[in-house]
């Protein structure tokens, strides 16, 4: 056995560096946080070779007094807290006094600083090189603020150096750190350069438009174009920011920024609330994108549970969860065709400035505003009885009768006279029995009629189930279906729950059931297939559970059957009724599986296709 001895200060720092300094990105995080803590509103980040060769961060913050310079690099030396009280009310990003000591124990570090109150040309420099912090201080030239230069990271710890990945990977992580902080502080300008190339140049952003511009620069213009801006306040909580439309989902959870009182957070409770809010509208396995800011009284949240792990502890987690869920759920439900249209119209105004290469956010044009404020035209219920819309069979089975054609032409002529065009416009034709084509003020609207109708039916059934209950109607001729014994068992056990969903099913023999009533809204569906699918769903969920727990899924299955099928001829009034319904329905922009239900081809886009006006 060896004898016990105190670690040298250097070795102790290197051990600590193992926790704080994992890779170039962590150095950048610590240094940037120091700059922000010092009150800087301008930071410049220069990086070479993914940060392994050089990281230089220059700020215009409060600087460091000459007398404190030596201490700044020592372990457990901080200006940010002095006692336990301070520890419980931390307003700064750092407070452990470990970062600089750790970084300089594994790199060649130079710090030049001029304090705010120092005389002109009295800046000072300290240097350290992976050794004990007995550093010489020498005069230097520097405007107010601090520059920290970290060279040759891990030059003296080859084992750690081996864990570094390619230059590109290291830079990507480092860039992510800059992005996170840039989105947390719109009032600070950030300039990031890699190998002398400018990567992000973000000006301070004050107005909403400037903020949105920064978000577009950091997250890409497509995100902003496909996101809704929200700002919701309730019970002392405020949530604002940008959330993507469900149709702009991603295969990875890589565009998700969530800040609690200005700090980036990754927290289970928050992810769960967000996921739930998107549950109904997102294609399975896809991830939403968002930049969100939650603001609440600091005393209601403990942000320093894990300073580097980005976790928080809320005093009332349930309240926060419910608030987030409701706010997002509502924001997504409120997206209507005219909002999406407004966004698309807006998009046509924006673009990449060919000179600077920067994205210029568009300004909402008059058309967008007009659509948003326009009153919707309501249709008289043309051939639109009960809930089984768009389902009237054409007179001769396939085509239309002469009278019907005349009716359509009249209806269209009547509408065309009107100069107030609703957001999704008026139907002009049906394509291959799948798509409805409509004309609105911007151009051509193409609707996937099954997907759209499915969403409408589903939302109606959900609303009915929650409110007055689903209206059911008895079948004139009860339908008997031969099923397996297990299915019959299931139908028998779940009879009450199914009845609440509007399905009246009775078991008549060990392998036979009879359907006596169905929801009015599904009256024209293929009842046998509907019942088989619902029973399959119920069995899959385990028949011991109460149906109410997965009611939405069952309603989704039912809605699919109740929806207009492909290859069904619709009359113009029926198509128009569908368009009006879409305008009225929550979440109608995507079907139950998260696919879009309609798209717009603007006249400008069509002109481009035909190279008009170029």
Rounded to a whole number of angstroms, the minimum distance from the CB of residue 52 to Mg ion is 21
Query: In the structure encoding, which two tokens stand for residue 551, read together?
Result: 């009611």
Alpha helices in 467-571 (DSSP H): 485-493, 495-500, 527-540, 551-562
Binding residues with Mg ion: total (CB under 5 A): 3
Q: What share of the chain is helix, strand, coil (3-state, %, to 5)?
A: 40, 25, 35
Contacts of 414 (CB under 8 A, 6+ apart): none
* 100 near ligand ADP, judged by CB under 6 A: yes
* 96 near ligand ADP, judged by CB under 6 A: yes
CA distance 299 to 422: 48
Sign of the dihedral through C-alpha 575, 578, 584, 586: negative
Report CA Rg, the chain: 31
* 181 near ligand ADP, judged by CB under 6 A: no
**Strands, E assignment, 280-408:** 290-295, 301-306, 311-314, 351-352, 359-360
* 94 near ligand ADP, judged by CB under 6 A: yes
Residue for token digits 């520059």?
Answer: 147
Residue whose CB is nearest to ligand ADP in the complex, by number = 94
* 34 near ligand ADP, judged by CB under 6 A: yes
* 34 near Mg ion, judged by CB under 5 A: yes
Sign of the dihedral through C-alpha 449, 450, 451, 452: positive
Burial class, 26, CB count within 10 angstroms (exposed 0-12 / middle 13-18 / buried 19+): buried
Binding residues with ligand ADP: total (CB under 6 A): 23
* 62 near ligand ADP, judged by CB under 6 A: yes
Q: Of the two residues 33 and 295, which places its CB atom closer to ligand ADP in the complex?
A: 33
Q: Of the two residues 64 and 555, which places its CB atom closer to ligand ADP in the complex?
A: 64
235: β partners: none
| Strands 227-234 vs 197-202: parallel, antiparallel or unpaired | unpaired
**Contact (CB, 8 A) for 441 and 425:** yes
Q: Of the two residues 34 and 588, which places its CB atom closer to ligand ADP in the complex?
A: 34
* 35 near ligand ADP, judged by CB under 6 A: yes
Q: Of the two residues 81 and 503, which places its CB atom closer to ligand ADP in the complex?
A: 81
Query: H-helix or E-strand containing 577?
Result: helix 572-584
| Strands 512-519 vs 504-509: parallel, antiparallel or unpaired | antiparallel
String of contacts with Mg ion for each residue 80-99, x by CB under 5 A: --------------x----x
Rounded to a whole number of angstroms, the minimum distance from the CB of residue 14 to ligand ADP is 15
* 66 near ligand ADP, judged by CB under 6 A: no
Query: H-helix or E-strand containing 124?
Result: strand 123-129
* 21 near Mg ion, judged by CB under 5 A: no
Rounded to a whole number of angstroms, the minimum distance from the CB of residue 135 to ligand ADP is 13
Contacts of 605 (CB under 8 A, 6+ apart): 443
Q: Of the two residues 103 and 115, which places its CB atom closer to Mg ion in the complex?
A: 103
Which residue in 80, 250, 326, 532 binds ligand ADP (CB under 6 A)?
80
Which residue in 9, 79, 261, 367 binds ligand ADP (CB under 6 A)?
79
Q: Of the two residues 188 and 534, which places its CB atom closer to ligand ADP in the complex?
A: 188
Q: Of the two residues 20 and 531, which places its CB atom closer to Mg ion in the complex?
A: 20
Which residue in 9, 56, 95, 116 binds ligand ADP (CB under 6 A)?
95
* 135 near ligand ADP, judged by CB under 6 A: no
List residues near ligand ADP by CB under 6 A.
30, 34-35, 38, 59, 61-64, 72, 77-80, 94-101, 146
List residues near Mg ion by CB under 5 A.
34, 94, 99
């Amino acid at each position: 056995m060896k004898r016990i001895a105190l670690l040298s200060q250097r070795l102790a720092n290197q051990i600590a560096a193992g926790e704080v300094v994992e890779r170039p990105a962590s150095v950048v995080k610590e240094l940037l946080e120091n700059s922000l803590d010092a009150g800087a509103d301008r930071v410049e980040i220069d990086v070479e070779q993914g940060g392994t060769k050089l990281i230089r961060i220059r700020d215009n913050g409060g600087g460091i007094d000459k007398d404190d310079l030596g201490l700044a690099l020592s372990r457990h030396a901080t200006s940010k807290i002095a006692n336990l009280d301070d520890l419980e009310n931390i307003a700064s990003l750092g407070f452990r006094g470990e970062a600089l000591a750790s970084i300089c124990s594994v790199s060649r570090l130079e710090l030049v600083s001029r304090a705010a109150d120092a005389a002109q040309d009295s800046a000072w420099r300290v240097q350290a090189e992976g050794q004990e912090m007995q550093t010489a201080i020498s005069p230097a030239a520097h405007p107010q603020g601090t520059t920290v230069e970290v060279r040759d990271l891990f030059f003296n710890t080859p084992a750690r150096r081996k864990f570094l990945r390619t230059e590109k990977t290291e830079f990507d992580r480092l860039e992510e750190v800059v992005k996170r902080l840039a989105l947390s502080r719109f009032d600070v300008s950030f300039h990031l350069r890699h190998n002398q190339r400018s990567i992000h140049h973000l000006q301070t952003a004050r107005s909403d438009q400037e903020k949105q511009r920064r978000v577009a620069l950091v997250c890409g213009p497509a995100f902003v174009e496909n996101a809704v801006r929200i700002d919701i306040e309730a019970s002392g909580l405020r949530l604002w920011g940008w959330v993507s439309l469900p149709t702009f989902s991603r295969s990875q959870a890589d565009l998700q920024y969530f800040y609690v009182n200005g700090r980036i957070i990754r927290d289970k409770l928050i992810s769960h609330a967000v996921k739930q809010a998107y549950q109904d509208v997102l294609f399975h396995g896809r991830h939403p994108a968002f930049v969100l800011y939650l603001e609440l009284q600091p005393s209601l949240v403990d942000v320093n549970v894990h300073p580097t792990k980005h976790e928080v502890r809320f005093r009332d987690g349930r309240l926060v969860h419910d608030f987030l869920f409701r706010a997002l759920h509502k924001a997504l439900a409120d997206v209507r065709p005219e909002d999406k249209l407004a966004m698309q119209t807006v998009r046509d105004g924006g673009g990449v400035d060919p000179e600077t290469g920067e994205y210029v956010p568009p300004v909402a044009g008059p058309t967008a505003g007009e659509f948003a404020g326009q009153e919707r035209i309501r249709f008289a219920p043309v051939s639109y009885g009960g809930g089984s819309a768009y389902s009237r069979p054409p007179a001769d089975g396939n085509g239309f009768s002469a009278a019907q054609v005349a009716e359509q032409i009249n209806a269209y002529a009547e509408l065309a006279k009107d100069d107030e065009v609703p957001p999704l416009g008026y139907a002009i034709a049906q394509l291959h029995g799948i798509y409805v084509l409509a004309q609105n003020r911007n151009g051509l609207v193409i609707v996937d009629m099954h997907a759209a109708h499915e969403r409408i039916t589903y939302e109606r059934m959900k609303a009915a189930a929650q409110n007055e209950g689903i209206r059911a109607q008895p079948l004139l001729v009860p339908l008997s279906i031969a099923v397996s014994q297990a299915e019959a068992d299931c139908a028998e056990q779940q009879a009450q729950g199914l009845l609440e969903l509007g399905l009246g099913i009775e078991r008549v023999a060990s392998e036979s059931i009879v359907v006596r009533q169905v929801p009015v809204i599904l009256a024209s569906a293929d009842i046998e297939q509907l019942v088989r699918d619902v029973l399959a769903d119920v069995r899959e969920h385990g028949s011991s559970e109460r149906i109410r727990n997965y009611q939405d899924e069952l309603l989704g299955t039912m809605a699919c059957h109740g929806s207009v099928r492909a290859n069904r001829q619709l009359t113009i009034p029926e198509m128009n009724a569908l368009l009006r319904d879409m305008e009225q329905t929550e979440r109608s922009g995507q079907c139950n599986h998260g696919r879009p239900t309609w798209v717009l081809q603007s006249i400008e886009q069509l002109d481009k296709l035909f190279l008009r006006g170029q």
